Amino acid sequence: MSNPSLLILAGDGIGPEVMTEVKRVIDWFGAKRDLAFDVEEDLVGGAAYDKHGTPLHDDTMARALQVDAVLLGAVGGPKYDALDFSEKPERGLLRLRKEMDLFSNLRPAQCFDALADFSSLKKDIVSGLDIMIVRELTSGVYFGEPRGIFKEGNERVGINTQRYTESEIDRVARSAFELARRRSNKVCSMEKANVMESGVLWREVVQKVHDTDYPDVELTHMYADNGAMQLVRAPKQFDVIVTDNLFGDILSDCAAMLTGSLGMLPSASLGAPNADGRPKALYEPVHGSAPDIAGQGKANPIACILSFAMALRYSFDQGDEAARLEAAVEKVLADGVRTADLLAEEGVTPVSTTGMGDAILAALDASL
């Protein structure tokens, strides 16, 4: 039997340096846990644009559709600001999401005990926090037509369209309810049904999916602005939050920061299951390309490493090995190892990106 396949797209900014640490972790699982992967690498974002004049080459897209999972670093950077929308690095990522049909984006926000003091919120508000944002990822205002900048009389008008079909809402709602059943069995759905028809439909469909197939799960609805407020007021009231593409983008950054650093948060983007039961899947850290610190060995590789842990769990049915990796990260943090983004304590010297990788590999060795 051949090994499961991974396509690594490290991308731009700090993407390549954090991905280097992930590759060491992947090799560790091959060497020590008899869990080898066939790894291919390719370009995405600005890196792909520099080489091919497009943020995602068709060949790369085709490979992404064939492999068992894609691991992505980050895309974007100031160098590409002046490019046309269709050529921007972000388009490469959006194309992957769309063509792989990765409609369910899982963004966990978990507060590690060792980092509870790093949050901008009081420790008791965030300690023990464990929420999962399920963000719809292939529709809504990110992709709706018409879109563009048009001429209207003497001036220009910028237009984007928020659009959701019932089936798009239905499938992401199901994935949220399924997840909730494996957690604390609560879903809060967020939209703006008070001002948007798409929100009215969203609420109706989520309620219907619930009543028909998931009556055992506790469901509440909240306007997304109130949701943002509740996330910083009392985040532990939530278990699973399901929301649309744009609200999910915003609320997940907000939730991520509750945990102390954006450098900690992984994500999984999942499509429908294939014939073998595996969903099409792409894993990436929630943080971006951080061009201000790129190439300096300062970046925190944990979000990207935890994204690989999510791949072990959601693509490869290796929940125990995922837990082993997560525990290794937790141990390193408990031991006080810190990259520069995690430096609240006085007198602590930050480790480099590689230093954090070394510490996590040592903790993995110690777990055997």
Q: What are the catalytic residues?
A: 142, 192, 225, 249, 253
Joined together, the tokens standing for residue 349 give 């010297």
Q: List the single partner that 93 binds among ligand IPM, Mg ion, none, CB under 5 to 8 Å by kind.
A: ligand IPM
* Least distance in angstroms from the C-beta of 45 to ligand IPM: 9
CA atoms within 13 A on the CB side of 100: 33
Report the amino acid identity of residue 89.
P
Residue 50, interface with ligand IPM (CB under 6 A)?
no
Identified binder of Mg ion from the candidate list 239, 249, 326, 341, rule CB under 5 A: 249
Counting contacts by CB under 6 A, is residue 93 touching ligand IPM?
yes
Whether the CB-CB separation of 305 and 287 falls below 8 Å is answered with no
Name which of 249 and 326 has its Cβ closer to ligand IPM.
249
- Name residue 221's beta-bridge partners: 189
In the bound complex, what is the minimum distance in angstroms from residue 181's beta carbon to ligand IPM?
26
Query: If residue 328 lies in a helix (H) or strand (E), which one and from where to where?
Result: helix 319-334
Contact letters for ligand IPM, residues 60-79 (x by CB under 6 A): ----------------x---
- Closest contact distance (angstroms) between CB of 179 and Mg ion is 20
DSSP state of 105: E
Assess contact for 104 and 209: CB atoms under 8 A: no
Helix (H) or strand (E) holding 152: strand 144-152
Comparison of 217 and 255: residue with beta carbon closer to Mg ion: 255
Judged by CB under 6 A, the residue of 191, 249, 326, 341 near ligand IPM is 249
Residues sharing a CB contact under 8 Å with residue 171, sequence separation 6 or more, in sequence order: 103, 104, 272
Indicate whether 244 belongs to the interface with ligand IPM (CB under 6 A): no
Please, what is the minimum distance in Å from the beta carbon of residue 248 to ligand IPM? Answer: 8
Of 29-37, 54-62, 244-252, 302-310, the window that binds Mg ion (rule: CB under 5 A) is 244-252
Q: Which is nearer to Mg ion, 65 or 262 (CB)?
A: 262
Other Cβ atoms less than 10 A from the Cβ of 266: the count is 24
| CB nearer ligand IPM, residue 232 or residue 250 | 250
CB of 176 to Mg ion, least distance (A): 19
List the x/- string, 122-161, binding to Mg ion by CB under 5 A: ----------------------------------------
**Strand order through the sheet with 218-223:** 38-42, 5-11, 69-74, 279-285, 266-273, 104-110, 130-136, 240-243, 186-191, 218-223
What is the x/- site pattern for ligand IPM, positions 283-312, by CB under 6 A?
Answer: -----x------------------------
**Which residue's CB is nearer to Mg ion, number 36 or number 250?**
250
| Cβ-defined contacts of 173-178 (< 8 Å, 24+) | 173/205, 173/206, 173/209, 173/210, 173/242, 174/209, 174/213, 174/214, 175/103, 175/104, 175/134, 175/270, 176/104, 176/134, 176/240, 176/242, 177/209, 177/210, 177/213, 177/214, 177/217
For residue 148, list its beta bridge partners.
159
Nearer Cβ to ligand IPM (255/342): 255
**Whose Cβ is closer to Mg ion: residue 188's or residue 286's?**
286
Distance of closest approach, residue 98 Cβ to ligand IPM, in angstroms: 12
User: Is the distance from CB of 43 to CB of 52 less than 8 angstroms?
Assistant: yes
Asked if residue 169 lies in contact with residue 206, where contact means CB atoms within 8 angstroms, the answer is yes
Decide if 46 contacts 55 (C-beta within 8 A): yes
Residue nearest to ligand IPM (CB): 90
Instruction: Considering only the stretches 196-204, 241-249, 270-278, 353-361, report the one whose residues sit in contact with Mg ion under the rule CB under 5 A.
Output: 241-249
Chain contacts with Mg ion (rule: CB under 5 A): 249
Contacting positions for ligand IPM (CB under 6 A): 76, 90, 93, 249, 288
